[in-house]
Amino acid sequence: MKFEEALKAMKSGLPVKLPSWAGYWWWDEETKTILMYTKDGDCLDIRETQNVEYTLQNILADEWIVANGQNCPILGGEATFSFGEAVKYLKRGFKVARKGWNGKKQYIQLATGISYKAADGEVVNCEHNAIGNMAVAFTGTSGVQMGWLASQADMLAEDWIFAE
């Protein structure tokens, strides 16, 4: 839902969050403000946010959901998100994985500064007009695979999580 709907939900007494969040936002009727319950268990008044740009980016998101005991870690659940969100997190430097992947310690991340050694021994830096020098790298039990491609199941899944 968009933030306008999320605000209405909060004012009706429901906690809301973005899918990847461990915490949630809550409307405090007494002070007429939003309280932000963080993954660390802290409670912050939105008016005291230290990172205004980040807070505004969250407000502009249209993936708001009602927080509950299934999808919110500080309420006893687990935060999962879509492939679209996973790509956003890759671009911000995070490692992400599918909860449903079989192997432990499997994840993808954005690789940059990619180069290879040609048969003649020359080191070639990989540059591409559209994406520069980046690729998605899959790390698994057999090592790192450069240029990982998502399957349709991966792209449609809602069980993406942050990898350790």
- Residues 114-131 have pLDDT tens digits of 888 899 999 888 888 777
What torsion, rounded to 10 degrees, do the Cα atoms 18, 20, 21, 27 define? 10
Residue 47 has pLDDT above 90, yes or no: yes
pLDDT computed for residue 43 by the predictor: 96
| Residue 150 sits in the same domain as residue 87 | yes
Q: How far is CA 36 from the centre of its chain?
A: 18
**Domain final residue pick, 42, 75, 108:** 75
Could you tell me the pLDDT band of residue 104, with boundaries at 50, 70 and 90? Answer: confident
Residue whose token pair is 């940059």: 112
| Residue 14 sits in the same domain as residue 39 | yes
Share of the chain above pLDDT 70, in %: 100
pLDDT computed for residue 110 by the predictor: 96
| Residue 102 sits in the same domain as residue 141 | yes
Q: Pick the closest to residue 136 from 69, 101, 91, 81 (CA basis).
A: 91
Could you tell me the pLDDT band of residue 80, with boundaries at 50, 70 and 90? Answer: very high
Higher pLDDT, 103 or 37: 37
| Residue 21 sits in the same domain as residue 43 | yes
Domain count, the chain: 2
| Residue 150 sits in the same domain as residue 92 | yes
Domain assignment of residue 34, given as a range: 3-75
| Residue 89 sits in the same domain as residue 137 | yes
Residue 35 has pLDDT above 90, yes or no: yes
Residue 27 has pLDDT above 80, yes or no: yes
Could you tell me the pLDDT band of residue 157, with boundaries at 50, 70 and 90? Answer: very high
Residue 74 has a CB neighbour count (10 Å cut-off) of 18
Q: Name which of 71-75, 99-103, 141-145 the model is least confident about.
A: 99-103
Tell me how many degrees the CA angle 26-84-66 measures, rounded to the nearest 5. 20
Cα 16 to Cα 6, 21, 63, 103, 134, distances in angstroms: 6, 10, 10, 32, 34
**Domain final residue pick, 55, 75, 95:** 75
Phi first, then psi: what are they for 57, rounded to 5°?
Answer: -60, -40
| Residue 43 sits in the same domain as residue 95 | no
| Residue 36 sits in the same domain as residue 15 | yes
Cα 54 to Cα 26, 44, 49, 69, 145, distances in angstroms: 18, 14, 9, 25, 32
| Residue 32 sits in the same domain as residue 7 | yes
